[in-house]
Amino acid sequence: MGSDDLVKHHSDYTNFDTTDASKQSVLFQVVENYRALVDDQRNWVCNLANAASLIWEAYHKLNASGLSKADVNWSGFYVVDKLDTNQLILAPFQGKVACQTIPIGKGVCGKTASTKQTQLVPDVNKFPGHIACDGETNSEIVVPILLDNELKGVLDIDSLTLEGFDEVDADFLQKLADLIAATCDW
């Protein structure tokens, strides 16, 4: 994938190629397919909705292929709430119903927002002030979405398994978050 020539339907953007048998290769395709999708579209809701789907499908393919420990039960976004900039508000996601708002500074998403630093959490139950939208979640990664160092939101992925994510995930998800920041009108 990564080329529009091979896309018959939009759903084909989630047909990730695992012949390289590496997490890096699939996460690279997530970034490149997102780039192709948003070529002519800057609506943030639309772009985040498709990005959440790309991430969900990629991690399920990775887990089924034995290339990622993460058994992803939630992938999506919180953005800065324009009506109250002290909190994040739920944005497009895949997975079960989630908390609507998160105070900046609180929990894994809130800490990512307040520090503008990725939080790689091998065991959420040991994270001080963790907000459990889903009690089955065991590990989590949250990456800030920053435009000119201004916080726009966070990219959040939850896993049923402990230690679901590592530095490879953090690197590629930061690339994706940076691309999302630059390709949307916020």
49 binds a copy of itself (CB under 8 A): yes
Query: Residue from 16, 93, 165, 172 that binds a copy of itself (CB under 8 A)?
Result: 93
List 93's β-bridge partners, or say none: 76
Contact 177, 151 (CB under 8 A): no
Query: Residue from 5, 9, 126, 148 that binds a copy of itself (CB under 8 A)?
Result: 9
Query: In terms of C-beta density within 10 A (0-12 exposed, 13-18 middle, 19 or more buried), how is residue 45 classed?
Result: exposed
Both tokens of 156, joined, read: 């959040």
Query: Residue from 21, 24, 96, 168 that binds a copy of itself (CB under 8 A)?
Result: 96
Stretch that binds a copy of itself, among 95-103, 104-112, 115-123, 142-150 (CB under 8 A): 95-103
Phi-psi region of 77 (alpha: psi -120 to 50; beta: other; left: phi over 0): beta
Q: Which is nearer to a copy of itself, 3 or 149 (CB)?
A: 3
Q: For residue 102, what is the enclosing H or E element?
A: strand 101-103
Interface contacts to a copy of itself, rule CB under 8 A: 8-11, 13-14, 33, 37, 41, 43, 45-46, 49-50, 53-54, 57, 76, 79, 81, 83, 89-101, 132-136
